[in-house]
């Protein structure tokens, strides 16, 4: 089972570190990271494996959301099924 | 394979364009709750609903978290209560409404629909008593919705029921006059009602449906409008293709959520209702889609044609996206619930007559329309009859949800707040249809050859 974490907001030191920190705390394995900084806007999409997750998905979502609030970023954590079903026939 | 563009598109649809799942609705059969003792029947109704839907809200919230998409309403539809009321002819059916309200409170759902009667050919035991109890039932409950089917293509229109419903709509508004006539906003009169509709106020669980199932109603007018706005110079058939693609994506989301809810709740998946359901929120309007197509304001000449194209394209895109499509499926045009419709009605561009024409080509009918408080019951009946005739002849579902604004006149506003929005009092004709309505009887079913 995989999920997609998207992070959008003003660039700052240590965003990737903090987001992946939460992942490792919860047993979430990072598979792929796409990241770009346009002027001072930071955008990152992270594909993660949640099969070995030590918490339930709702907790991961809540922790990521509150991390986002703390850092002034918008962080969305969504199950990959929503993207697969919407964009693939 | 996932790609960045697709991921960002999905997030933008949800964050900026008001994409949501409008409702997950659990349909529950109450046929096994029928009892000649009304108190026992009510207890069975309460127990059955709570045992089936006790987890509905929690499951809905879990899915919202998993997929990151809002599910605005969690609802329940039940077997038309007139069928249960038939077994206890000497009791007041409002007891059932109160039992439903208790169940709604326990489950935490937004609405329970099904305080309903199907009388398209005539009244059977329980039907008339239930209909006459609607004003009281909607007055003493908050989350119960009621509907009455008064006509069908196969059986014609029951004009006795049409006459009665004019009186009931008016009485319901009067009984709740101190709450902005809210009772009438929870009451729909149908022709060709469907048995698996997840949307309120007209949802009920038909007798041909399984014991328990889960339906999903999608939304997303804002997504369609945003998609069209990127192609200001496209031809109409190009616009139709864009709408189809967008409807496909919206519906896939409904299919995913429905399948997941069915798995988590352990009940069969019923249908996805392919609807564009507006809300009064900015950017969530069906009228604004029509305006994006090139109308200066919704309601002007050309509106019916634009709406016909929109409605058809939504279905074509949606059907491909879901294995089980049903319900009302199409674009909704509830006046008070759509920011663009409200503006057009206030400006006098959108009239009752134009809305009637629009209902011939789109989903449902004259929905959430505020009329003057002094409108006679016969006029309300005649509006119902006109709308039912459109549904009957065109083999489609039509409905009427009128709110007579007690104490208000043309041009004043009625404010409901929330998803129900606000609506200007729209003018009706002042010449009386009373003699026609008072004749009673039935309009015979139409023939379906020699079509002209």
pLDDT in tens, B66-97: 999 999 999 999 999 999 999 999 999 999 99
Q: Output the pLDDT for position A88.
A: 83
In sequence order, what DSSP letters do the residues of chain A get, joined into one string?
-EEEEEEEEE--TTHHHHHHHHHHHTTPEEEEEEEEEETTEEEEEEEEE-TT-SS-HHHHHHHHHHHHHHHTEEEEEEEHHHHHHHH--
Q: Is B5's pLDDT higher than 90?
A: no
Q: Using a CB-CB distance cutoff of 8 angstroms, which residues of chain A are in contact with residue B252? A: 85-86
Strand pairing report for A73-79 and A2-10? antiparallel
Model pLDDT for residues B351-396, shown as the tens digit of each residue: 999 999 999 999 889 999 999 999 999 999 999 999 999 999 999 9
Chain B hits for A85, CB-CB cut-off 8 Å, are 252-253, 255-256
Tokens coding B355: 């809305």
Residue B279: per-residue pLDDT? 87
What are the pLDDT digits (tens) for B256-271?
999 999 999 999 999 9
Per-residue confidence (pLDDT) for residue B343, from 0 to 100: 95
Chain B residues within 8 A of A6 when measuring between CB atoms: 7-8, 11
Q: Does A82 touch chain B (CB under 8 A)?
A: yes
* DSSP one-letter string for B229-269: HT-TT--HHHHHHHHHHHHHHHHHHHHHHHHHHHHHHTS-E
Average pLDDT for residues B32-50, to the nearest whole number? 96
The predicted pLDDT at position A12 comes to 86
How far does A77 lie from chain B, in Å, by closest CA? 7
pLDDT bucket at B1, cuts 50 / 70 / 90 = low
Q: Which residue, among B20, B58, B66, would best test binding to A if mutated, counting the most A CBs under 10 Å from its CB?
A: B66
| Rounded Cα–Cα distance for residues B306 and A13 (Å) | 51
Coil, helix or strand at residue B285? coil
Can you give the pTM of this predicted structure?
0.92
B16 close contact with A: CB closer than 8 A: no
Mean pLDDT score, B5-25: 88
- List CB contacts (< 8 A) between B8 and chain A: 6, 45
Residues B324, B311: Cα–Cα separation, whole Å = 18
- In angstroms, what separates the C-alpha of B93 from chain A's closest C-alpha? 42
Q: Pairing mode, if any, of strands B111-118 and B144-152?
A: parallel
ipTM for the predicted complex: 0.85
Kindly list the residues from chain B whose CB atom is less than 8 angstroms away from the CB atom of residue A62.
65
Whether B255 has its CB under 8 Å from any CB of chain A: the answer is yes
User: A81 to chain B, minimum CA–CA distance in Å?
Assistant: 8
Instruction: List the single best residue of B1, B14, B68 to mutate versus A (max A Cβ within 10 A).
Output: B68
At B340 the pLDDT is 95
Q: Where are the alpha helices (DSSP H) in B91-214?
A: 94-107, 127-140, 159-175, 182-185
Spatial distance between the Cα atoms of B149 and B219, rounded to a whole number of angstroms: 25
Hey, is the C-beta of A34 within 8 angstroms of any chain B C-beta? yes
What is the largest distance, in Å, between two alpha-carbon atoms of chain B?
66
Asked if B381 contacts B437 with a C-beta cutoff of 8 angstroms, the reply is yes
Nearest to B188 by CA among B179, B196, B199: B199
Chain A residues touching B62 at Cβ < 8 A: 58
Query: What pLDDT was estimated at residue B270?
Result: 94
Among B1, B15, B62, B67, most A C-beta atoms within 10 A, so best to mutate, is B67
CA distance A14 to chain B (A): 22
Contact A42/B at CB under 8 A: no
pLDDT (0 to 100) of residue A11: 87
Question: Rounded to the nearest 5 degrees, what angle is found at the Cα of B385, between the Cα atoms of B381 and B389?
Answer: 170
Which residue shows structure tokens 């069915």? B262
**Is the CB of A71 inside 8 Å of chain B's CB atoms?**
no
**Would you state the pLDDT for residue B3?**
82
CB atoms A76 and B249 under 8 Å: no
Cα B302 to chain center, whole Å? Answer: 25
* Cβ contact B12:B229 at 8 Å: no
pLDDT tier at B204 (50, 70, 90 boundaries)? very high
pLDDT bin (cut points 50, 70, 90) of residue A46 is very high
**Residue A89, pLDDT above cutoff 90:** no
B408-438 tens-digit pLDDT: 988 899 998 888 899 999 999 999 999 999 9
């Amino acid at each position: 089972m995989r999920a997609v974490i998207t992070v959008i907001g003003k660039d700052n030191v240590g965003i990737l570190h903090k987001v992946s920190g939460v992942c490792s705390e919860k047993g979430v394995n990072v598979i792929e990271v796409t990241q770009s900084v346009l002027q001072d806007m930071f955008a990152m999409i992270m594909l993660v494996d949640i099969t070995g997750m030590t918490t339930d998905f709702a907790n991961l979502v809540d922790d990521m959301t509150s991390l986002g609030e703390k850092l002034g970023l918008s962080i969305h954590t969504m199950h990959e099924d929503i993207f697969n079903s919407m964009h693939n026939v | 394979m996932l790609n960045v563009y697709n991921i960002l598109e999905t997030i933008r649809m949800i964050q900026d364009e008001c994409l949501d799942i409008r409702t997950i609705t659990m349909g529950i059969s109450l046929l096994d709750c029928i009892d000649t003792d009304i108190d026992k029947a009510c207890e069975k109704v309460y127990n059955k609903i709570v045992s089936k839907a006790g987890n509905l809200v929690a499951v809905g919230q879990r899915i919202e978290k998993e997929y990151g998409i809002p599910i605005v309403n969690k609802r329940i539809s039940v077997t038309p209560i007139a069928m249960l009321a038939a077994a206890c002819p000497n009791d007041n059916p409002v007891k059932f409404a109160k039992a439903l309200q208790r169940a709604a409170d326990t489950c935490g759902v937004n609405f329970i629909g099904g305080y309903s009667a199907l009388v398209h050919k005539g009244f059977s035991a329980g039907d008339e008593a239930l209909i006459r109890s609607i004003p009281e039932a909607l007055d003493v409950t908050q989350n119960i919705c009621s509907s009455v089917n008064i006509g069908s293509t196969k059986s014609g229109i029951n004009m006795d029921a049409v006459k009665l419903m004019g009186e009931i709509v008016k009485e319901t508004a009067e009984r709740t006059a101190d709450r902005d006539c809210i009772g009438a906003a929870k009451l729909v009169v149908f022709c060709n009602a469907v048995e698996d509709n997840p949307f309120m106020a007209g949802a009920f669980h038909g007798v041909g449906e399984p014991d328990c199932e889960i339906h999903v109603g999608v939304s997303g007018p804002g997504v369609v409008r945003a998609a069209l706005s990127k192609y200001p110079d496209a031809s109409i058939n190009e616009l139709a293709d864009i709408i189809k693609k967008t409807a496909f994506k919206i519906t896939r989301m409904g299919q995913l959520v429905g399948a997941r809810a069915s798995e988590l709740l352990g009940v069969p998946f019923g249908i996805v209702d392919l609807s564009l359901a507006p809300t009064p929120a900015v950017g969530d309007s069906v009228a604004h889609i029509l305006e994006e197509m090139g109308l200066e304001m919704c309601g002007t000449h050309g509106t019916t044609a634009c709406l016909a194209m929109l409605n058809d394209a939504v279905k074509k895109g949606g059907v491909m996206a879901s294995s089980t499509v049903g319900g009302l499926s199409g674009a909704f045009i509830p006046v008070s619930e759509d920011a663009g419709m409200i503006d057009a009605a206030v400006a006098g561009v959108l009239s009752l007559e134009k809305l009637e024409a629009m209902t011939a080509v789109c989903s449902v009918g004259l929905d959430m329309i505020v009329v003057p408080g002094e409108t006679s019951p016969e006029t309300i009946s005649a509006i119902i009859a006109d709308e039912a005739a459109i549904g009957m002849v065109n083999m489609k579902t039509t409905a009427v949800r009128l709110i007579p604004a007690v104490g208000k006149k043309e041009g004043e506003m009625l404010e409901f707040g929330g998803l129900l929005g606000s609506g200007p009092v729209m003018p009706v004709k002042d010449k009386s249809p009373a003699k026609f309505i008072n004749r009673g009887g039935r309009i015979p079913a139409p023939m379906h050859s020699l079509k002209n």
